[in-house]
């Protein structure tokens, strides 16, 4: 089955700097890769996603890149702000054998220092 690895587990950046979080997946059949932001005590919220037919997607300060050959995808946050501090999870959507599981990474705790 699918396995998703996420790095780093913690990341501290100065306000205004960029942050990059990387994930790798194992199943080449996975075709949808969402990123979630989870603030303390709250539900995971979708912030951006990418499908396997594109290599990059951007939404204001957030972008995601996908390398299908290498089976890795990354989240890029530019001009970080204190409110970006949260735990970020990547996920891979595995449609094999007619089931539709989302497998999550272990999370990255991002701290934006003012």
φ, ψ of residue 96 in degrees (nearest 5)? -70, 150
Rounded least distance, CB 47 to other proteins, Å: 12
Rounded least distance, CB 16 to other proteins, Å: 27
Residue 42 or 83: the one with the smaller Cβ distance to other proteins is 42
For residue 83, the SS3 value is helix
For residue 98, the SS3 value is helix
Residue 37 or 77: the one with the smaller Cβ distance to other proteins is 37
Interface with other proteins by CB under 8 A: which residues?
6, 32, 34, 36, 42-46, 49, 89, 91, 93, 98-107
Residue 77 or 89: the one with the smaller Cβ distance to other proteins is 89
End-to-end Cα distance, the chain = 41
Strands 56-59 and 62-67: antiparallel
């Amino acid at each position: 089955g699918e396995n998703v690895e996420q790095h780093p587990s913690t990341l501290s950046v100065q306000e205004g700097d960029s942050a990059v979080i990387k994930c790798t997946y194992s199943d080449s059949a996975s075709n949808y890769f969402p990123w979630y932001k989870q603030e303390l005590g709250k539900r995971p919220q979708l912030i951006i996603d990418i499908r396997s037919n594109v290599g990059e997607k951007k939404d204001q300060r957030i972008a995601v890149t996908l390398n299908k050959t290498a089976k890795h995808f990354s989240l890029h946050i530019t001009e970080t702000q204190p409110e970006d501090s949260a735990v970020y999870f990547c996920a891979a959507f595995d449609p094999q054998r007619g089931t539709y599981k989302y497998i999550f990474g272990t999370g990255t705790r991002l701290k934006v220092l003012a």
